[in-house]
């Protein structure tokens, strides 16, 4: 009996020890899983917020870059930009043109406002009180145009914004730094309106002197704080320039400002995002108590182990199996985090390359002295060409693009007049971007060539490959018939640089262009290993491959 009791006691002791050990292990595993899931959700949210802010800042830079030496007194400056602005994710509340007017320009500005049928064309202060313009001896910032125009906003043009407590200092900072600047949060539209931020970008005159500012107003809720009810956290926004206060969004999306209490819980994780030349802190608070849930799970495991001591071996086996499963999940999640970091780095690299190309296109197209209408059409066309190739690359997961797809009508003008001949080679992402701009540039100039008999040019685009293996060579030939050096519009400076230098250097090849008796010819030769770039494709396949 004593021996049996000893055995039973020993089994019970083993059961208690195993149950306690299992509970302790499960407790720590649950904590680790919750922390990994929470950190991953926070990183994804912060990355999405940063991407959203970068897009809005890019919109402001592109919009300000479309102006060159503008007439500051115009009250319809946003008219040429409306289609371009709405081609982006235009979720702004108000877009505005703020002219920096000199004292001698006030009369002309008032006439321009009156011609646009705004509610009040008189130059006045921000509180809607008329100013004695004769007493002003320095430039002031006057709201001249805005979008959208409705019953609430049509009364704003004509107001001087220098006296506004938030917008005034923001414009002064933009003037001093010469780059886009975000304001402190304040109520938009009206006193009881939603909290928002104004992003102001300078419009330079003669390359150095600001002629005014393009501004975009955004609500803070959709921009940074929006969460769904099923998320693992709630997030609050803190302005590092205004310590002691934070912005909180309710479940209905209403954002309010409140003081930071020293007695309240500290944020679980904080992330910093950049917008408008300043840093903003996102403070994340977990919605669920991971410690309490882990304790409850461990208590259940211990209770089951103590209650069913007769099956300790089975319970131990289950715990071992559960531990292995949890370990595998942790390893997979760690691998996913590493993969996610690599993908984000690769995405940042590609986005920077695309932004650099777009910046070069805008700078070269809108050079000083260029015709604004022609430059705008070329700029929009070139950006559409870039957008088309990025869309094709996204559809193929950046595995490359068939060269025939670069000749679609949405990418180049008058594609119906172009005869294409050659195999549908899948070119690399880098080659596709260069070739897309090259084809658009050739097609946009072939549009205006006319022969002596008045016929539109007929274009033949032909390509082929010669050689095998590492020695294979890509040959491309563009020939415009029914044109000559006398009838074809000369290539622009940007076009010449793209045709003669940028495209050949990007593909590691050479190019030449010349006129024959009946046509204009452009030829490009490059090694196939550069055009196809298997190293880039292999790297992209590794990033998109599923985790094992």
Q: With the C-alpha atoms ordered 446, 450, 456, 457, is the resulting torsion angle positive or negative?
A: negative
Among 31-35, 49-53, 273-277, where is mean pLDDT lowest? Answer: 31-35
Q: In this structure, are 441 and 306 located in the same domain?
A: no
b/e map of 65-85 (b: 16 or more CB within 10 Å)? bbbbebebbbbebbeebeebb
Residue 390 lies in a domain: yes
Residue 306 lies in a domain: yes
Contact between 93 and 217 under an 8 Å Cβ cutoff? The reply is yes
Q: In this structure, are 380 and 529 located in the same domain?
A: yes
pLDDT at 456: 64
Q: In this structure, are 320 and 457 located in the same domain?
A: no
* Residue 491 DSSP label: P
Q: In this structure, are 402 and 503 located in the same domain?
A: yes
For residues 96 and 77, give the distance between their C-alpha atoms in angstroms, rounded to a whole number.
9
Q: In this structure, are 529 and 383 located in the same domain?
A: yes
pLDDT at 543: 46
Residue 329 lies in a domain: yes
Residue 516 lies in a domain: yes
More confident residue, 15 or 531: 531
* CATH number, position 502: 3.30.565.10
Query: At residue 534, does pLDDT exceed 80?
Result: no
- Nearby residues of 174 by Cβ (< 8 Å), 6 or more positions away: 180, 181, 200, 201, 202, 210, 213
Q: Which helix (H) or strand (E) holds 373?
A: helix 372-395
More confident residue, 392 or 421: 421
Q: In this structure, are 424 and 509 located in the same domain?
A: yes
More confident residue, 41 or 385: 41
* Residue 279 DSSP label: E
* Count of C-beta atoms within a 10 Å radius of residue 343: 12
Residue 30 lies in a domain: yes
Span 309-330, mean pLDDT?
62
Q: In this structure, are 436 and 518 located in the same domain?
A: yes
In whole angstroms, what separates CA 286 from the centre of its chain? 28
pLDDT at 351: 63
- Domain containing 509 equals 371-536
- pLDDT, one tens digit per residue, over 265-300 is 788 889 999 998 889 898 888 877 777 776 777 778
Among 111-115, 224-228, 450-454, where is mean pLDDT lowest? Answer: 450-454
Work out how many domains the chain is built from and give that number.
2
**0.85 cut: is pTM over it?**
no
Q: In this structure, are 378 and 458 located in the same domain?
A: yes
pLDDT at 180: 92
| Confidence category of residue 86, pLDDT binned at 50, 70, 90 | low
Residue 513 lies in a domain: yes
Q: In this structure, are 305 and 406 located in the same domain?
A: no
Q: In this structure, are 431 and 495 located in the same domain?
A: yes
- Phi, psi for residue 367 in degrees, rounded to 5: -70, 160
- Look up residue 470 and give its two tokens: 């590492």
Coil, strand, or helix at residue 482?
coil
Q: In this structure, are 502 and 400 located in the same domain?
A: yes
Query: At residue 515, does pLDDT exceed 70?
Result: yes
Q: Are strands 195-205 and 186-187 parallel, antiparallel or unpaired?
A: antiparallel
Q: In this structure, are 418 and 308 located in the same domain?
A: no
- pLDDT, one tens digit per residue, over 389-405 is 777 777 767 667 888 87
- pLDDT, one tens digit per residue, over 188-218 is 888 888 889 999 999 887 666 788 899 999 9
Q: Name 285's bridge partners.
A: 234
Q: Name 460's bridge partners.
A: 419, 479
- Provide the percentage of residues in the chain whose pLDDT is more than 90: 8
Region at 482 (left for phi over 0; alpha for psi -120 to 50; beta for the rest) = left
Residue 46 lies in a domain: yes
Q: How far is CA 472 from CA 220, 463, 467, in A?
A: 55, 13, 4
- pLDDT, one tens digit per residue, over 95-154 is 899 998 888 888 888 888 888 888 888 888 888 888 887 788 888 999 988 888 888 888
Q: How far is CA 275 from CA 56, 282, 476, 513, 539, in A?
A: 9, 12, 44, 45, 31
Residue 385 lies in a domain: yes
Q: Sheet harboring 473-481: ordered strands across? A: 418-421, 458-466, 473-481, 519-527, 510-515
* Count of C-beta atoms within a 10 Å radius of residue 92: 23
In whole angstroms, what separates CA 425 from the centre of its chain? 30
Q: With the C-alpha atoms ordered 152, 154, 158, 161, is the resulting torsion angle positive or negative?
A: positive
């Amino acid at each position: 009996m004593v021996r049996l009791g000893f055995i039973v006691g020993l089994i019970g002791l083993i059961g208690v020890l195993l149950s306690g050990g299992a509970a302790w292990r499960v407790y720590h595993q649950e904590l680790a899983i919750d922390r990994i899931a929470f950190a991953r959700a926070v990183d994804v949210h912060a990355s999405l917020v940063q991407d959203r802010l970068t897009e809005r800042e890019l919109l402001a830079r592109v919009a300000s870059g479309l102006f060159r030496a503008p007439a500051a007194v115009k009250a319809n400056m946003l008219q040429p930009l409306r289609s371009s602005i709405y081609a982006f994710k235009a979720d702004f509340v108000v877009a505005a043109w703020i002219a920096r007017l000199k004292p001698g320009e006030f009369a002309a500005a008032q006439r321009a406002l009156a011609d646009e049928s705004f509610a009040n064309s008189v130059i006045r202060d921000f509180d809607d009180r008329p100013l004695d313009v004769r007493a002003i001896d320095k430039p002031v910032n006057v709201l001249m145009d805005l979008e959208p125009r409705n019953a609430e906003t049509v009364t704003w043009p004509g107001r001087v914004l220098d006296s506004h407590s938030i917008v005034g200092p923001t414009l002064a900072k933009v003037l001093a730094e010469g780059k886009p600047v975000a304001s402190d949060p304040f109520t938009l539209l009206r006193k009881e309106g939603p909290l928002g931020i104004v992003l102001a970008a300078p419009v330079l005159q003669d390359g150095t002197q600001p002629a005014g500012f393009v501004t975009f107003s955004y609500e803070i809720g959709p921009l940074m704080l929006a969460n769904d009810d099923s998320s693992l956290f709630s997030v609050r926004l803190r302005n590092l320039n205004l310590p002691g206060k934070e912005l909180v969004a309710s479940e209905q999306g209403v954002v309010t400002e409140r003081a930071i209490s020293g007695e309240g819980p500290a944020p679980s994780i904080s992330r910093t995002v950049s917008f408008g030349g300043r840093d903003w802190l996102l403070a994340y608070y977990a919605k669920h108590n991971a410690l309490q849930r882990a304790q409850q799970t461990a208590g259940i495991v211990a209770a089951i182990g103590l209650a069913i001591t007769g099956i300790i071996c089975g319970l131990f086996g289950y715990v071992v199996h559960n531990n292995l499963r949890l370990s595998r999940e942790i390893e997979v999640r760690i691998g996913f985090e590493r993969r996610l970091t690599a993908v984000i780095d690769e995405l940042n690299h590609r986005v920077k390359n695309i932004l650099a190309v777009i910046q070069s296109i805008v700078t070269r197209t809108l050079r000083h002295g260029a015709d604004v209408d022609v430059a705008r059409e070329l700029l929009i066309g070139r950006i559409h060409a870039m957008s088309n190739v990025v869309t094709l690359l996204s559809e193929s997961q950046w595995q490359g693009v068939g060269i025939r797809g670069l000749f679609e009508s949405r990418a180049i003008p008058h594609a119906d007049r172009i005869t294409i001949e050659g195999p549908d080679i899948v070119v690399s992402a880098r080659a596709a971007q260069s070739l897309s701009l090259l084809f658009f540039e050739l097609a946009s100039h072939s549009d205006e060539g006319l022969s002596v008999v008045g016929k539109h040019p007929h274009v033949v685009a032909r390509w082929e490959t010669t050689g095998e293996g590492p020695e294979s060579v890509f040959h491309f030939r563009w020939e415009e018939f029914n044109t000559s050096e006398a009838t074809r519009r000369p290539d622009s400076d940007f076009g010449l640089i793209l045709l003669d230098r940028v495209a050949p250097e990007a593909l590691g090849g050479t190019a030449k262009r010349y006129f024959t008796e009946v046509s204009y010819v452009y030829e490009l030769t490059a090694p196939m290993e550069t055009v196809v770039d298997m190293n880039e494709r292999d790297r992209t396949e590794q990033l998109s491959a599923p985790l094992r």
